[in-house]
Structure 1
Amino acid sequence: MAGVAALGFSIALEIAARRYGLPGPLTNQAKEVVFAPASGPLLYASMALMMVVLTWRERFVAAGAAIGIDVAFLLVRWAFDARVSDGHSFGNGALWVILGCAVVAVTRRTGRERVLMLKGVGLGLLLVAGRKTGDTWLLVTSKTRPAVLDPYVAIADHALGSPSWLAGRLVAATGPVGEHVLDWIYAQLAVAAVVVALYQLRNVAAERRFPRHHLVRTFLVIGLLGPAVYMIYPVVGPVFTYGTGAFGTGGEQWAMANLWPHTPPPVSTPHPWTYDGVTPRNCMPSLHTAWATAIFIHSRRAPRVLRFAGTFWLIATLGATLGFGYHYGIDILAGVVFAVTIEAALRSFDHGWDRPGIQLVTYGTVVFAALLASARFLPMEMAARPWAFGPLLVLAMVSVVYGYVRTARLWNPKAAAPARKTEPQLEPA
């Protein structure tokens, strides 16, 4: 059912994109079988996820085949002087291996072995499809939501001290090295998620089944639901609405003023602002923050090196989202609440809906809605009383995080956990 729903959703987005004369997620994914992929690292990360169902020997064969195919593609492009202007010169091999494993599963496997391999292929393809689907979602937001709410969020953000303006100046002070490091961390968030997911799925091949709950599910649900919020709360970000062109970006003729990152916008009555039909309305909530929060949560019970990596990635992602002017402070708070609420809902779905789980999901949803509504309807009051609204905003986010830590017993693995029902080794197809 989940696969059918995902396919139906992708077809709907394909049709929506075609209405604007652009390829949709299915077309973009099919093109990467031959043409240069948009993200080679993401395709190899997807292949790594797929390989959790393979034996070590099969993994070495698959990895070698992917590299060999990429080398062949590289030689052909070099022979025909085919330049890769937008994307990576590698990654096709990984996609070919994923599709090849699907063929092997159907033609050479039977019973439980076939189901397990197809689940691995589906897991790898879901990560890629999630990226393509998200890109199309963002296209739809830019075409269907001409008016943005940035002036409201920017004024409300005075309650938090306009952190994006402060972070923007700090990142600029680090110079090109700091900017490039943060930009790479920001762009490769999915790869970081795969590293944590691979640890969680490390025993799939031996146990012949997937764990009940893992990071990939949370990651994909965040990516699916987030753009739906963008449709009802369109925001493009401070660097575009108030940008000066820092870091090679900026709103140019569409900007309200050239203020970021040196001068926060003056407190005045906000109104919707008409923006271009290209820039995604992808700020509220900050999905990069939500994804980094999910990585942080799922790395808490991993080895120390992964715990440190999860913490570092969260901090660096927060620095990038604010420092590059992609998000306001309230976006960050909303992103954390969004991620924790989804994580709580998925955990409750897996372990059974008990009273604490229902209460936490309900409370997180209410806090998330309150954050969005306050920035839309109370921006002047928030800017006029930062001493009251600033702490309230932070405490609202912290209260949701605290509720999750208590409910999930995140830092105490030995504590009593909800009783699990005995389950078969392999879920029915």
Structure 2
Amino acid sequence: MQQTPGLDPNMNFITCLLLFLAARPKRWELISMGMVAAVLLACFGIRREPWQAVLQVLSYGGAGGLVTVLLLPYLSRHFDWKLVGKLVFPPAFGTLTSVLLAATVSGVTYDNLLYAFDGALGFQPDFWAGRVILQIPGMSVSARFLYEALPLFLATAYVSGGCAARNMIAFLVLLGLCGAICFRLFPAVGSVYLYPDAFPFNPPALSSISLVPQSVTVAAPRNCMPSLHCAWAIAFLWTSRRFSRI
């Protein structure tokens, strides 16, 4: 059955919602946010899956908060540039990331070299992780949620961490820029695209792998080396240790 068209549950806009509520909006601002969210809901609908529906409604609320903040000069004499910057940053950064990734969807990849390196460790970590995710009930949904929810965790740290959190966000942006450069220097799409018939249960023998750059016909971002989500998560955990001291 075809799904109702609508905005995908977007963690960037849910992040906007968190930042908007953390600013302690006035009652009329909450009403404005709700009205915009209701319009989006009426225009774009909602998905049938319960957990996706919840995320989608929250994303509509975040979009409503962003619109409300942008309309503040017209609705009142108060205009908070800092709040505007906070709410604009998540969707703007997400859009910029999408544009940068879209520029890497073609060309050769070095996945064979990565596969050979992993094989030198005695096993293929990505194949093993793929099997775990597929075989444990609920793991696929949980992994997907945690992958997409990283902006929400970062926003939570930003709200609660003060100056240290702002420094952390700047560090994470710097990591993102460095990662984008590395994607161009060492393009890789991952074994799921390189070996679609074998992943994740039948890793090819190392003897069958040619250690040369390889063309992959699928239009997938070459963004596996390095893993920015892994780098961001490690940086978040490392820097968040300071929050309890603030």
Normalised TM-score (structure 2): 0.79
Which residue of 130, 136, 148 corresponds with 1:168? 130
Q: Match of 1:42, as an amino acid?
A: N
Pairing 1:327-338 to 2, within 5 Å after superposition:
none
Q: Which residue of 1 aligns with 2:101?
A: 138
Q: Which residue of 2 aligns with 1:299?
A: 240
Distance 2:206 2:164 in 1: 51
CA distance 1:104–1:74, change in 2 (3 Å): closer
The answer to whether the Cα contact below 8 Å between 1:219 and 1:291 also exists between their aligned partners in 2 is yes
Distance 1:46 1:265 in 2: 47
1:108 aligns with 2:77: yes
The answer to whether the Cα contact below 8 Å between 2:119 and 2:206 also exists between their aligned partners in 1 is no
Q: Which residue of 1 aligns with 2:191?
A: 238
Two-structure CA RMSD over aligned residues (Å) = 3.2
Q: Which residue of 1 aligns with 2:14?
A: 44
Distance 2:199 2:161 in 1: 45
The answer to whether the Cα contact below 8 Å between 1:243 and 1:261 also exists between their aligned partners in 2 is no
1:260 aligns with 2:200: yes
Q: Displacement, 1:213? A: 3.7
Distance 2:116 2:21 in 1: 48
Which residue of 92, 97, 122 corresponds with 1:129? 92
Distance 2:203 2:164 in 1: 49
Distance 2:218 2:161 in 1: 41
Q: Which residue of 1 aligns with 2:211?
A: 270
Q: Displacement, 1:105? A: 5.2
Q: Displacement, 1:126? A: 1.3
Q: Displacement, 1:61? A: 4.6
Pairing 1:208-219 to 2, within 5 Å after superposition:
213-219=166-172
Q: Displacement, 1:263? A: 2.5
Which residue of 180, 201, 223 corresponds with 2:141? 180
Q: Displacement, 1:275? A: 1.1
- The one-character-per-residue Cα deviations of 1:189-224 (angstroms, maximum 9, x if unpaired) are 2112212222114xxxxxxxx668433323333333
Distance 2:179 2:56 in 1: 30
Q: How many residues align?
A: 234
Q: Displacement, 1:153? A: 0.9
Pairing 1:48-63 to 2, within 5 Å after superposition:
48-50=18-20, 52=22, 54=23, 56=24, 58=25, 61-63=28-30
CA distance 1:39–1:259, change in 2 (3 Å): closer
Distance 1:119 1:217 in 2: 15
The answer to whether the Cα contact below 8 Å between 1:77 and 1:83 also exists between their aligned partners in 2 is no
Q: Displacement, 1:77? A: 4.8
Q: Displacement, 1:159? A: 2.9
- Mark the structure with the bigger radius of gyration: 1
The answer to whether the Cα contact below 8 Å between 1:200 and 1:214 also exists between their aligned partners in 2 is no
Unaligned runs of 5+ in 1: 1-34, 202-209, 245-257, 304-412, 415-429
Distance 2:203 2:20 in 1: 48
Distance 1:235 1:119 in 2: 38
Q: Which runs of 4+ in 1 moved over 6 A?
A: none
The answer to whether the Cα contact below 8 Å between 1:148 and 1:272 also exists between their aligned partners in 2 is yes
The answer to whether the Cα contact below 8 Å between 2:32 and 2:68 also exists between their aligned partners in 1 is no
